[in-house]
Amino acid sequence: MTHDELRELLAGHALDALGHEDERAVEAHLATCAECRRELAALRDVAAALASDAPAVDPPAALKARIMRATELEARVEPPASEAPPARQRSRAWLPAVAGLAAALALIMGGLNYSLNRRVAALTSQVNSFSERLNMQEQVLILLASPTARTAALRGQVQASVRFVYDPLRGQGALIVTGLGDPGADFVYQLWLITGQTPESAGVFRPVAGRTIVVPVKADFVRYQAIAISIEQGPTGAPAPTAAPILLATL
């Protein structure tokens, strides 16, 4: 195989998706090619960032245990048989207690229902967010598996792991961001694709602490020579950069 043919197999190798023959060929090539070793390391960094961001969704507490704890009542001690009132009096004496117990249970069940509804709503929101993130990660993994995929590491004034994965032939890309600090309450990070001296906005985003952010980008990447990030006024950013880029990479 030629260098270019082996390079096209790097994404599959990073995802452990090659057959035995292709894997041996790539390993042999990597032993002598520093350029492909660097690109493979970049691809593995992106895959690792996506894998580390899979969140755990906590299940609700056991409802039966909550109800049992909430409905525990103090045991009643029956009086001695010789002192027991007549059956009719006993039944009448129980009526207020039964009514009180019913009212207490109604309040308890109402509170439990309200609490459970809030918990279900919160879990539904978590699951929806989780599904969106999984879908985005799946799209990036598909992009990584493309034989024409390329990666670019953005570097500059701040310390963070910021990589751009893109496929020039399909016109699809994604910015993968980990460890980028908060730009400030009134500001956003804005992504720019640069052709010549002209930057074009490719979207805005804000980081989330402890989470990998994926920003999808669609463009004719053949037209552009660089990609950059600047800090701009939120929430929509600026039509043109108002400050020097903090991160930059060539495409």
Cα 63 versus chain centre, distance: 28
pLDDT band at 182 (very low <50, low <70, confident <90, very high): very high
Q: Which of 139-153, 174-188, 189-203 has the lowest mean pLDDT?
A: 139-153
Is 237's pLDDT higher than 90? yes
Does the pLDDT value for residue 240 go beyond 90? yes
Residue 188 near residue 202 (C-beta atoms within 8 A):
no
Q: Do 246 and 229 contact (CB within 8 A), yes or no?
A: yes
DSSP state of 159: -
Give CA–CA dist 200/93, Å, rounded.
82
pLDDT of residue 242: 93
Give the lowest-confidence range in 3-7, 49-53, 210-214: 49-53
Using left for φ > 0, alpha for ψ between -120 and 50, and beta otherwise, residue 36 falls in: alpha
Helices 63-70 & 87-145, crossing angle to 10 degrees?
A: 150
Average pLDDT rounded to a whole number, residues 211-240? 92
Q: Quick: pLDDT tens for 120-131.
A: 555 444 444 444
Token pair in block for residue 245: 């880029």
Whether the full predicted model's pTM is greater than 0.95, yes or no, is: no
Q: Where are the beta strands (DSSP E) in the chain?
A: 150-153, 155-156, 161-167, 172-178, 187-195, 198-205, 213-218, 226-233, 247-250
Per-residue pLDDT reduced to its tens digit, 95-117: 555 555 566 556 556 655 555 55
pLDDT at 106: 60
CA distance 193 to 171: 13
Yes or no: say if 33 and 10 are a contact pair by the CB < 8 Å rule. no
Average pLDDT over residues 183-203: 93
Check if CATH label 3.30.70 holds for domain 148-251: no
Given a cut of 60, whether residue 187 has pLDDT beyond it is yes
Instruction: Say which residue the tokens 């007549």 belong to.
Output: 86
Percent of the chain at pLDDT > 70 equals 61
| 41-45, 122-126, 231-235, range with greatest mean pLDDT | 231-235
Closest CA to 162 of 217, 241, 199, 236: 217
